[in-house]
Chains A and B, each alone.
Chain A
Amino acid sequence: MTVNNKRASCVVIGAGIVGNSLVHHLARLGMRDVVLLDKGPMPNPGGSTGHASNFIFPVDYSKMMTELTADSTRQYKELGVFTESGGVEVARTPARLEEFRRRVTTAKAWGIEAEIIEPGEVARLVPYLDPSVIRAGLYFPAVGVVDSLRAGTLMREAAQGSGALEVLANTEVLGIEVDRATRRVRALRTTAGEIETELVAICCGVWSPRLAEMAGAHIPLTPIVHQMISVGPIPLFSETAGEIAYPIVRDVDTNMYERQHGGDLEVGSYAHRPILVAPGEIPSNEEAALSPTELPFTQEDFDPQLAEALELMPELLGDENVGIRYAINGLISMTPDGHPVLGETPEVRGLWSVAASWIKEGPGIGRAVAEWMVSGRSEIDIHESDPARFYPFQQTRRHVRARASEGFNKMYGIVHPFEQWSLEREIRLAPMYAEEKELGAFCYQTAGWERPHWYESNAPLIERYGDAVMDRPAEWDARWWSPIINAEHLAMRESCGLVDLSAFVELDVTGPGALDALQSIAVAQLDVADGRVVYTPFLDQEGGFKADLTIMRLGRDHFRVVTGGAHGMADKKWILDHLPAGGSAQLCEATSALTTLGLWGPQARRVLEMVTDDDLSNEGFAFSTCREIEVAGLVALASRISYVGDLGWELYVPIEQGARLWRALYEAGAPLGLVPVGIGVYGTTGRLEKSYRAFGSELTPDYDITEAGMARPRVKSQPFIGKQAYLRQRESQPAALLCTLAVDEHATPAGERRYMLGGEPILTREGERITDSKNRPSYVTSAGAGPSVGRHLLMAYLPRQLAVEGERLLVGCMNETFPVTVVVAGSRPLFDPENERVRA
Chain B
Amino acid sequence: MDLLVCLKRVPMVGGRIGLLPSERQIDTAMLGFTVSPHEECAVEEAVRIVESQGGQVTVLTLGPPEAAEQLRDAVAVGASRCLLLEAGGKEWGPMATARAIAAAAEQAGPFDLILFGNEAADTADFQVGVRVAHLLGRPVATGIKSLSVESGAVTARREYRGVEESFVLQLPAVVSVKEGINLPRYPSLPGRMRAKKAVIETLSPAYSEEGLSMERLVVPKVERRRAAVLGEGREAVGELVDLLEQLGILA
Q: A residues within 8 Å of B by Cβ?
A: 231, 277, 281-284, 286-290, 295-300, 303, 306-307, 309-310, 317-325
Contact = CB atoms under 8 A, between A and B. Distances in A.
B251 interface: no
A299 B72 contact: yes
Nearest to B18: A287
Interface residues of B, number: 25
Interface string B1-25: 0000000000011111110000000
Contacts of B192: 299, 303, 306, 324
A322 B30 contact: no
Given A288-B14, A299-B72, A307-B193, A282 B187 contact: no
Contacts, number: 71
Contact of A318 (B73, B186, B190, B196): B190
Contact of A286 (B14, B33, B185): B14
Contacts of A320: 188, 190-191
A318 B191 CA distance: 9
A318 B14 contact: no
A323 B187 contact: yes
B211 interface: no
A298 B189 CA distance: 15
Given A287-B15, A299-B69, A281 B30 contact: yes
Given A288-B14, A320-B188, 10 more contacts: A286-B15, A287-B14, A296-B30, A299-B72, A300-B69, A303-B196, A307-B193, A309-B189, A318-B189, A324-B188
B16 A296 contact: no
Of B14, B189, B190, which is in contact with the most chain A CB atoms at under 10 Å from its CB?
Answer: B189
Nearest to A284: B16
A317 B189 contact: yes
B186 A325 contact: yes
B31 interface: yes
B247 interface: no
10 contacts: A231-B189, A295-B30, A295-B32, A296-B31, A299-B73, A306-B192, A318-B190, A323-B186, A324-B189, A325-B186
A299, A300, A306, A319 pick with most chain B CB within 10 angstroms: A299
Given A296-B32, A303-B196, A283 B14 contact: yes
B29 interface: yes
A3 to B, nearest CB: 15
A287 B17 CA distance: 6
Nearest to B73: A299
Contact of A282 (B30, B185, B190): B30
Interface string B173-215: 0000000000001111111110010000000000000000000
A167 B133 CA distance: 59
A323 B188 contact: yes
A283 B30 contact: yes
B183 to A, nearest CB: 11
B146 to A, nearest CB: 24
A287 B188 CA distance: 29
Of the candidates A282, A288, A319, the one having the most CB atoms from chain B within 10 angstroms of its own CB is A288
A289 B13 contact: yes
A306 B30 contact: no
A277 B16 CA distance: 20
A44 to B, nearest CB: 15
Contacts of A324: 186-189, 192
A279 to B, nearest CB: 12
Given A287-B16, A288-B14, A289-B14, A319 B31 contact: no
B16 A286 contact: yes
Nearest to A291: B14
Which 8 interchain pairs have the tightest Cβ spacing? Answer: A296-B32, A323-B186, A286-B16, A289-B14, A286-B15, A288-B14, A317-B189, A283-B30
Contact of B193 (A286, A310, A319): A310
Nearest to A230: B186
Contacts of B31: 289, 296
Contacts of B14: 283, 286-290
A288 B16 CA distance: 8
A283 B17 CA distance: 11
Contacts of A317: 189
A282 B30 CA distance: 7
A289 B32 contact: yes
B9 to A, nearest CB: 13
Nearest to A298: B32
A318 B190 CA distance: 6
B230 to A, nearest CB: 15
A322 B185 CA distance: 9
A322 B189 contact: yes
Contacts of B187: 323-324
Nearest to B78: A320
A716 B117 CA distance: 86
A309 B31 CA distance: 27
Given A281-B30, A287-B18, A289-B31, A296 B12 contact: yes
A306 B189 contact: yes
Contacts of B18: 287
A310 B12 contact: no
A171 B33 CA distance: 30
A288 to B, nearest CB: 5
A296 B12 CA distance: 8
A297 B32 contact: yes
Contacts of B191: 320
A319 B185 CA distance: 13
Contacts of B15: 286-287
Interface string B61-90: 000000001001100000000000000000
A96 to B, nearest CB: 24
A6 B16 CA distance: 32
A296 B32 CA distance: 5
A283 B31 CA distance: 9
A320 B12 CA distance: 26
B25 to A, nearest CB: 15
Nearest to B184: A323
B61 to A, nearest CB: 16
A141 to B, nearest CB: 29
Interface in B16-73: 16-18, 29-33, 69, 72-73
Contacts of B196: 303, 306
Contacts of B190: 310, 318, 320
A300 B13 CA distance: 20
Contacts of A288: 14, 30
A297 B196 CA distance: 15
A322 B76 CA distance: 12
B89 to A, nearest CB: 22
Nearest to A329: B32
B32 A310 contact: no
B82 to A, nearest CB: 15
